[in-house]
Amino acid sequence: MSQAIRRAQIPRLERARASPSGELARVEGRRVVTNPFFLASLLAGLAIAFLLTRSELPVWGRLDVLLPVALFPCAAVTLFLANLASSRTQRDEVEDLYASLPAPHSSVRRSILLGLLAPTGAAAMFVVVIVAFVFAGGALGTPRVAELAVGPLVVLLCGAIGIVSGKWFPHEISAALSTAVVALAQVSIAFALTVSWARWLGPWVPASTAGDPAPELLIRPSAAHLLYLLSLIGLVGVLALVPRTNARGTAATAVLAVILVVTALLQASRATEGRTELVALVRDADVFRQCEDREAARYCVFDGYEPLIDHWDVPVRGVLSTAPALPDGPLRVTQTLDAAGSDLPVREQSRLANRRGVDSITGLPTLVTDTHWGAGEALGMSELGLALGTASWVTGLPPTASALSPAPDVNASVLELVPASARDAARKLLTSGGAEGCSSVGQGRSIVALWLAAGATDATEDLFREDVGSPPIQEGVFQEFDQAGPSIYLATGNVVAWGKSETRYAIQLLDRPRGEVVALLQDSWAELIDASTTTAEAAELMALEPAVDGDAPSVERSLRAGFVPCP
C-alpha cells in the first residue's frame, strides 16, 4: 500500500493524534497547567484581581487595562516551566538519547511551544471568570476584548521567551534570569520611558505613568497593540523553533521582524492620534454630560456613568433630608474627568485644574466628583467626602474652592472675618490665588456641618468616628494638618479645614438620639449656621459638654499655612 493511500485511510484527527508533536504538546501542556506552581500563580492572580476590585466600584475602562497584571504571576511561572522544559535535554545530558528516537529533536521544542496553548487557555478562562464575577458585581461601562486579551497573550509570549532562553542558554539559572530580565524590561518600558508611543513597545501598557486619569482621556490603540503582540509572539516562536543556520528559518525570522516593525509603527501612529477629540471632551464637557434632578440636587454625569448618580444620592440625600432648611437653588453635583497623567496636552490639564468647582454654564459653585467611587471598606471614604461637601453647602460654608477665588467681592467677605492686624496677609493670599482652603476653626456652623455629614449614612458615621476619634490618622478622609496648628483636620476633596474641638462636639451630637438633635437644629437653625456664631456659643445652644482645644490655631497661623477664615 502506497504512503498516500495509507494517509487517506487514516482520518485527519487520528493523523493529528499520531503526530509526535501533537501528542507531546498535550503532555507538555498538561505538565504546565497541573504544576503546583502554576496553580499557585492562578491563586495569586485571583488575590491580585480581588485587590484591584475590592475598594472601588469597577469601571471597565480602567479595570480591563489593569486586569492583565493579575496574570503576571502566571506568565512568570509559564516562562519558568517552558524554559526548564526547553533546556531539559541539555541539562540532563540526554541529547544523544533523544537523537536515537524516530521523532527529530526539533519536534520536542515544537511540542513545548504548542503546549503553551494550555496555560494560555487557562489564562483566558481566568479572565472570563473574573469578567463574569465583576459583571455580577455591577461594573460600569463595557469591557474591551482587545485590552482583556493582553493578559493571556502575555502568558503565551512569556512561555515562548522561556523556550528561546532555554534553547540559547540551557542553564539552571536561565529561567530565573530571563524572568527577571523580562520583568525589568516590562517595568522600564512601561514606566521609565517618557515618550508616549514608546511605552507601547512593552507587552503590557499601563493606563498612565502618573496619576489615575479617567479612561475617557486616554488614547489606547488596543487593536494595533494586539497585532503587535501577536507578531512579537510569532517572532519569538520562530526563534524558538528554527536552528540558527537554517535558511528558511532565517527568512521566516526576517519576515516576522518586518511585520513586527510595521505593527509597532502602526500602534505608534495610533498612540498620538485623537488628542483633538480629548480636548473637545473637556472643553465642551456639558455637551457630553447628562443631568438629572432629584429633589434638591442636580447631578450631571458623563455617558456611561449614570449608575453613579444612585451611589452619590445616598450621602447627599442623607444630609439634605436631615437639614431643617436648605439654601436657594439646587445643590449641583458634577462629574469631572481626572486629567492628571492623561493624554491631554499639559496646558489643557492645568487649565482644568484651575477651573474645578465651578459649573461651566451657570458659573455657580458645584460639588465635583470624578470617575472613582469607593466600594466595600472604602465606601465610607467616598460617601463622607461628598457628604461633607453637601453639609458645607447646607450650612453656608464654601462647598468648593471657587469661593476662595481672587474676585474682589469674595475678598471683601473673607476679609471681614480677619482681625485688622492680619488683613494685609489675608489680602495678599487671596489676590495671589494661593489659598489652600479656608479654616472653619471657631465657627459654630462647622459643628452642624460635621454632624450632618457624619450622620448621612452608616458608613460615614463609622468612618467619622474612626477617623477623628483615634488620632493620629494614618489613612482616611480626614488628615491632620500640622502646619496650620496641631488642631486642624483636612478632609480629602474638601476645601474646608475643620477644627478638632468641633469634631469632638460633632461626636457628642452623634452619641445623642437623632430626633433630639434634629429638634435642636430646628429650634436654632438660623443662629447655628450664622458665620458669626462661635463654636462656644453653638455648643452652649446645643447644651454640649465643653470640649475646649487649647491648641486651636490663631488666624495668623492659619494664614501662614495658606488658610483664610471661611466666608
Least distance (Å) from other proteins to the CB of residue 179? 6
Angstrom distance (rounded) from CA 531 to CA 15: 88
Q: Bin 476: left if φ > 0, else alpha if -120 < ψ < 50, else beta.
A: left
Least distance (Å) from other proteins to the CB of residue 37? 9
95 versus 516: smaller Cβ distance to other proteins:
95
CA distances in angstroms from 407 to 27, 129, 495, listed in the order given: 75, 55, 17
As given in the structure block, the three cell numbers for residue 358 are: 465651578
CA nearest to 318, candidates 400, 379, 397: 379
Q: What are phi and psi of 444, to 5 degrees?
A: -60, -30
Angstrom distance (rounded) from CA 216 to CA 304: 11
> What does DSSP assign to residue 376?
G
171 versus 294: smaller Cβ distance to other proteins:
171
Least distance (Å) from other proteins to the CB of residue 77? 10
Angstrom distance (rounded) from CA 500 to CA 488: 6
Q: E-assigned strands of 331-389?
A: 331-335, 367-369
Tell me the residue length of the chain: 567
Least distance (Å) from other proteins to the CB of residue 192? 7
69 versus 308: smaller Cβ distance to other proteins:
69
Q: Fill in the amino acid letter for 97.
A: L
Contact 310, 291 (CB under 8 A): no
Q: Bin 478: left if φ > 0, else alpha if -120 < ψ < 50, else beta.
A: beta
DSSP symbols for 29-48: HHHHHTSHHHHHHHHHHHHH
* Helical (H) or strand (E) element with 181: helix 174-187
Least distance (Å) from other proteins to the CB of residue 31? 16
198 versus 541: smaller Cβ distance to other proteins:
198
Angstrom distance (rounded) from CA 418 to CA 566: 10
Least distance (Å) from other proteins to the CB of residue 184? 5
76 versus 271: smaller Cβ distance to other proteins:
76
Least distance (Å) from other proteins to the CB of residue 169? 7
Positions touching other proteins (CB under 8 A) are: 80, 91, 169, 171-173, 175-177, 179-181, 184, 188, 192, 194
Q: Fill in the amino acid letter for 142.
A: T
199 versus 311: smaller Cβ distance to other proteins:
199
Angstrom distance (rounded) from CA 528 to CA 523: 10
Do the strands 478-480 and 297-302 form a parallel or antiparallel pair, or are they unpaired? unpaired
Angstrom distance (rounded) from CA 487 to CA 496: 14
Least distance (Å) from other proteins to the CB of residue 389? 32
CA nearest to 162, candidates 82, 233, 240, 241: 82
31 versus 91: smaller Cβ distance to other proteins:
91
83 versus 503: smaller Cβ distance to other proteins:
83
Least distance (Å) from other proteins to the CB of residue 172? 4
Least distance (Å) from other proteins to the CB of residue 255? 29
46 versus 176: smaller Cβ distance to other proteins:
176
79 versus 401: smaller Cβ distance to other proteins:
79
Least distance (Å) from other proteins to the CB of residue 238? 24
145 versus 180: smaller Cβ distance to other proteins:
180
CA distances in angstroms from 13 to 22, 102, 115, listed in the order given: 11, 21, 17
